[in-house]
Amino acid sequence: QVQLVESGGGLVQAGDSLRLSCVVSGSKFDISTVGWYRQAPGGQRELVATQTAGDIRSYGAAVKGRVSISRDNDRNTVALQINEAKPEDTAVYYCHLYQRWSDETFWGRGTQVTVSS
């Protein structure tokens, strides 16, 4: 029912910028909290950024200052802008959506970001 599809991942050099996008269907996007998490090889999934329906943004400590999250309620999309990419940013990035009225969280299948040094 609820579907999240990420795109924009790829191979970049350290210091480059990258923009990830997520298209959401099947949910009331404009009143949902959306965000991005990532999981490095052998690591655990960690918070990258979230944005509430009221446009309150939060960022993980490892990326704060280098990334920004934005949402387009007209297109049901959420984007993650990564600047000054570092090799430690290499991970699979997952889009997520939280529906507070049902207390449910939905995940995309992820998009790979690889940053070479």
pLDDT for 58 equals: 98
Distance CA 58, CA 72 (A): 17
Q: What percent of the chain has pLDDT over 70?
A: 100
Q: What is the SS3 assignment for 114? A: strand
Whether 104 and 98 have beta carbons less than 8 Å apart is answered as yes
For residues 60, 16, 93 and 71, what is the CA-based torsion angle, rounded to 10 degrees? 70
Instruction: Compute CA 54 distance to the chain's CA centroid, rounded to the nearest angstrom.
Output: 17
pLDDT for 19 equals: 98
pLDDT for 75 equals: 97
- Per-residue pLDDT band at 100 (split at 50, 70, 90): very high
Cβ-count burial 85-100 (b if 16+ within 10 Å, e if not): beeebbbbbbbbbbbe
Strand pairing category for 33-39 and 91-99: antiparallel
